[in-house]
Amino acid sequence: MVRDITLGQFMPGTSVIHKLQARTKIVLLITLIVFIFLCKNFISLLLITLFSLSVIMMTRISFFKYLKSLRVILFIIIITGLFNLFYGSGDVLWQWWQLTITTGGVYNALFVIVRIALLMMVSAVLTYTTSPTDLTDGLERLMKPLTIFHVKVHEIAMMMTIALRFIPVLLEETDKIMNAQKARGADMESGGIIKRVKALIPVLIPLFVSSFRRASDLAMAMECRCYNGGSGRTKLKVSRFGLADLFAAVISLSIFAGVIILNILFPAVL
Amino acid sequence: MSVIRAENISFVYSPGTAFEKTALDDVSFEIEEGEFVGIIGHTGSGKSTLVQLVNGLLRPTKGRIFLEDKDIWEKPKKIRNVRFRVGMVFQYPEYQLFEETVYKDISFGPRNMGLEEEEIDKRVRKAAAFTGLRDELLNVSPFDLSGGEKRRAAIAGVIAMDPDVLILDEPTAGLDPLGREVLLSQINDYHKIRKNTVMLVSHSMEDIASIADRILVMAKGRKYMLDSTANVFSNGDELEKLGLRVPQITKIMMMLRKNGMNVDPAVLTIDQGFNEILKCLSGK
Amino acid sequence: MKDFIRIENLYFQYEASEEDENRSYALNGVDLSIGRGEFVAVLGHNGCGKSTLAKHINSIYLPTTGDVTVNGINTKDDDRLFEIRKTVGLVLQNPDNQIVAGIVEEDVAFGCENIGVEQKEIRKRVDSALKAVDMYDYRLHSPDKLSGGQKQRIAIAGIIAMEPECIVLDEPTAMLDPQGRDEVMKTIIRLNKEMGITMILITHFMEEAVLADRVIVMDSGKVLTDGTPREVFSQVELLKKHRLSVPQASLKSF
């Protein structure tokens, strides 16, 4: 059923990682991902893997949940892994018909799998430990400098907030409308692609109509509460950088520096 | 012969996940052909789940439902035929309107049934007449109708399938008193003329009291009782313990009785109440 | 102090989207005066103009002719728009469509944030508003999982946090179940009695109108009758003529 889809997998908690500023987490996450892809040998890859895993441990969320985040892309991991396995140069390890596995291929495959898996899991650290509102707020503040280029940062953030708020509402509504049409004999489960697309019309039109109605209601409600864009607004929660954020930044930066040094000290395998 | 029979049905939402929730727990009942059954219960008592199970939109986790002695899930591929025979009007049904004209929207169900054009036309006009939609409204866009007209057009869309059992989930929600009264009397007239079985879910005890033969009371996913309307409402104290009300007039009778007046508390309409009080006063 | 809200000779016509010769007026000459601290119910069936009237009180709609003044400020005075909206809050029918944020307390803070209340003060106001509607324990919840009655109380808290003198509620219980209706009505009465907030309740439920200090009945864009619930509901014949029903229990009593 549609209503089973859960959006934003935020898991409330009190860990050090939970308490970090959303801005800190976003910036460090992006840098971490860049460095995951900058690792050129197994030693630097090992360093960044250990670092990522310790961050994951620090969130005090069961590791199983992180493995679950991989499930969605398991297929992609396997395919790219296999593809890389058979694609590469170096000593031939195994050969059959057109397929050859080389040492280079094995290295490639290992790197790709570890990188994609790490990428997913550290991204999950951000979404698991940061509430959607904190996340939007963090993005809004990070993008603030863009206002000088006339980017409507506040408006974008407000749109994200409203979207996050209304996605579950609209999913539930979709479910209701689908049931109502099914009760009138609408057949949405069989037939070819064209028939199925056509079968969606009785669901999509009422959904659009109701979304517009909701939008106009919401606009009125916001007006009633004196909404006037971003200027002169204050915030219930003003987050300030704390010591924890500083520590997080220092530790991460030293790890990143370590990666660069290890990349220079040891020969690249790729 | 009972038209609907439920045997020990249970329903669990999202089984095996963190959101697992038992909505219905081992419910059995029988509904006779031509009955008008009211269904009452708190929000979350399982009454909406129950009616969706009866028309095959949900499949019971456990137990079986029979439509005229045939298990409705015997051939899952044919479940659509069950939905045609057990018509379901959801809460706020006007949100399902989508066609260019009211006529086309009402004909959506009959057309899905694969009927002949002539038969469809007959049914659309009949359904529109039952719900009091004037002929000239059939050719306008459903989105141009007033709130009450939209509601009636949506109900007509289900009636046009000519179901043997008609289920209505809170059909009067959000209407003003006049709109409620008119719609209820239309449903009642339809029931009397068509002689089919109607199941009406409602929060309004006054509505149910004035119209239902029997009442099914649901509480916490279980059947609390299924009995004649008079019997159910004469258990006023029990209903109030479940957080349900009784009709205002029944409540007055209960209070009069508590204060020593010898009236029958099983009074459902104002006229009955009026006569009952007169009888009691003149008797003294 | 009868003149907290004054409505004089108010006519209102919706702007027609197409050529429409004889458009009717949604409001047809309304004169009303509402005092500070009153609890007024405006009753009437759909299309009688009661919702349109509600939206005039905080400047969502402006009169076609006539005037609405709140606390001495004319609602047409564009420069003082926010002052009016800070004085008069509006709660709408559908609880889902007026909650902006994904966390209860952040939604309650929304109005305060808009009018630039200082952070510490917002915290204080949000907490006391949530306590006033008895939803403090839910402050960190997502509104999705709440019942209709709870959502509507959150919407009311969001208005209270702006510290208005008056709240207009436009059929706030129409989409709720009896329990939710009860919760919301109790909240309205309590806020009126304890905090002295003027309440204007638009409704078509007679059972709710009875709870107010004063009932105004509208029909075809006009005020039909105005008085205490006892005065209004004893006019059974007048109400019947205008096809309004009275609470079941009063039908035979007069």
- CATH number for the domain spanning C228: value is 3.40.50.300
Number of domains in chain B: 1
- What would you measure as the largest C-alpha separation in chain A, in angstroms? 72
Query: Does C5 or A240 have the greater pLDDT score?
Result: C5
Query: Does A104 or B90 have the greater pLDDT score?
Result: B90
Q: What pLDDT was estimated at residue A73?
A: 84
Residue type for position B166: L
**Within-domain flag for A32:** yes
* Residue showing tokens 């395919």: A79
Contact A202 B17 (CB under 8 A): no
- pLDDT bin (cut points 50, 70, 90) of residue B97 is very high
CB-nearest to A182 from B83, B98, B158 is: B83
CA distances A59 to A52, A121, B51, C50, Å, are 11, 12, 44, 54
B51 has a pLDDT exceeding 90: yes
Put simply, the chain A residues between 120 and 139 with a CB less than 8 A from any chain B CB are none
Contact B109 A1 (CB under 8 A): no
Q: What pLDDT was estimated at residue C17?
A: 53
- Give the residue-averaged pLDDT of C206-220: 92
Rounded percentage of chain A residues whose pLDDT exceeds 90: 39
pLDDT in tens, C124-166: 999 999 999 999 999 988 888 899 999 999 999 999 999 999 9
Q: Nearest 5°: phi and psi at A51?
A: -60, -50
pLDDT in tens, A26-55: 999 999 999 998 888 889 999 999 999 999
Q: What pLDDT was estimated at residue C251?
A: 46
Q: What gap in Å lies between CA C16 and CA B160, rounded to an integer? A: 34
**Within-domain flag for B57:** no
* Residue showing tokens 């349900």: B244
C13 has a pLDDT exceeding 80: yes
B153 Cβ contact list (under 8 Å, min separation 6): B94, B97, B102, B105, B106, B128, B131, B133, B137, B142, B145
> Burial letters for C181-203: b for 16+ Cβ neighbours within 10 Å, e otherwise?
bebbbebbeebbeeeebbbbbbb
Domain that residue A225 falls in: 2-265
Q: Nearest 5°: phi and psi at A87?
A: -125, 110
Minimal CA–CA distance to C44: which of C35, C36, C53? Answer: C53
Domain that residue B276 falls in: 247-284
Contact B109 A185 (CB under 8 A): yes
Q: What pLDDT was estimated at residue C244?
A: 66
Q: In what order do the strands lie in the sheet with B36-41?
A: B86-89, B165-169, B197-201, B36-41, B214-219, B222-228
Number of domains in chain C: 1
> Burial letters for B32-64: b for 16+ Cβ neighbours within 10 Å, e otherwise?
eeebbbbbbbbbbbbbbbbbbbbbbbbebbebe
* Residue showing tokens 């005066």: C33
Q: What gap in Å lies between CA C19 and CA A36, rounded to an integer? A: 65
**Within-domain flag for B269:** yes
Q: Tell whether B252 lies on the interface with C, counting CB pairs under 8 A.
A: yes
Residues of C in contact with B206 (CB under 8 A): 248
* Residue showing tokens 């059909």: B171
Rounded percentage of chain B residues whose pLDDT exceeds 90: 62
Query: Does A70 or C186 have the greater pLDDT score?
Result: C186
Contact A206 B158 (CB under 8 A): no
| Residue of chain B whose Cα is closest to the Cα of C43 | B176
C-alpha distance from B158 to closest chain A C-alpha (Å): 7
Q: Tell whether C96 lies on the interface with A, counting CB pairs under 8 A.
A: yes
**Within-domain flag for B59:** no
Residues of B in contact with C178 (CB under 8 A): 203, 245
Residue C48, helix vs strand vs coil: coil
CB-nearest to C177 from B43, B147, B270 is: B43
C-alpha distance from C84 to closest chain A C-alpha (Å): 10
Contact B84 A185 (CB under 8 A): yes
Q: Tell whether A189 lies on the interface with B, counting CB pairs under 8 A.
A: no
A69 has a pLDDT exceeding 70: yes
Contact C105 A169 (CB under 8 A): no
Domain that residue C123 falls in: 5-250
Number of domains in chain A: 1
Q: Tell whether B194 lies on the interface with C, counting CB pairs under 8 A.
A: no
- What DSSP character marks residue B243? T
CB-nearest to B96 from A1, A180, A187 is: A180
- pLDDT bin (cut points 50, 70, 90) of residue B277 is confident
Terminal CA-to-CA distance of chain A, rounded, Å? Answer: 45
Dihedral-angle region of residue B162 (phi above 0 means left; psi in -120 to 50 means alpha; beta otherwise): left
C18 has a pLDDT exceeding 60: no
Kind and range of the H or E run holding B9? strand B2-13
- Give the residue-averaged pLDDT of C54-75: 93
- DSSP per residue over C127-194, as a string? HHHHHHTT-GGGTTS-GGGS-HHHHHHHHHHHHHTT--SEEEEESTTTTS-HHHHHHHHHHHHHHHHH
What's the token pair of residue A115?
A: 């990188």
CB-nearest to A235 from C92, C115, C119 is: C119
Q: What gap in Å lies between CA A4 and CA A221, rounded to an integer? A: 29
CA-CA-CA-CA torsion sign (B42, B43, B46, B49): positive
Among A211, A213, A222, A225, most C C-beta atoms within 10 A, so best to mutate, is A225
Among A167, A234, A238, most C C-beta atoms within 10 A, so best to mutate, is A234
| Residue of chain A whose Cα is closest to the Cα of C143 | A165
Q: Tell whether B245 lies on the interface with C, counting CB pairs under 8 A.
A: yes
CB-nearest to C46 from B42, B148, B273 is: B148
Q: How far is C-alpha A255 from the geometric centre of its chain's CA atoms? A: 23
Q: Tell whether A15 lies on the interface with B, counting CB pairs under 8 A.
A: no
Global confidence as pTM: 0.85
User: What is the number of CB-based contacts under 8 A between chain A and chain B?
Assistant: 61
**Within-domain flag for A211:** yes
Residues of C in contact with A237 (CB under 8 A): 106
Q: What gap in Å lies between CA A259 and CA B1, rounded to an integer? A: 79
A3 has a pLDDT exceeding 50: no
Enumerate neighbours of A (3 or more CB pairs within 8 A): B, C
C-alpha distance from A64 to closest chain C C-alpha (Å): 25
Q: What pLDDT was estimated at residue A50?
A: 94
Q: What pLDDT was estimated at residue B139?
A: 94
Q: Tell whether B242 lies on the interface with C, counting CB pairs under 8 A.
A: no
C-alpha distance from C129 to closest chain A C-alpha (Å): 14
Residues of A in contact with C100 (CB under 8 A): 161-162, 165, 218, 221-222
- DSSP per residue over C210-244, as a string? TTSSEEEEEETTEEEEEE-HHHHHT-HHHHHHTT-
| Residue of chain C whose Cα is closest to the Cα of A238 | C119
**Within-domain flag for B63:** no
Q: What pLDDT was estimated at residue A6?
A: 45
Q: Tell whether A181 lies on the interface with B, counting CB pairs under 8 A.
A: yes
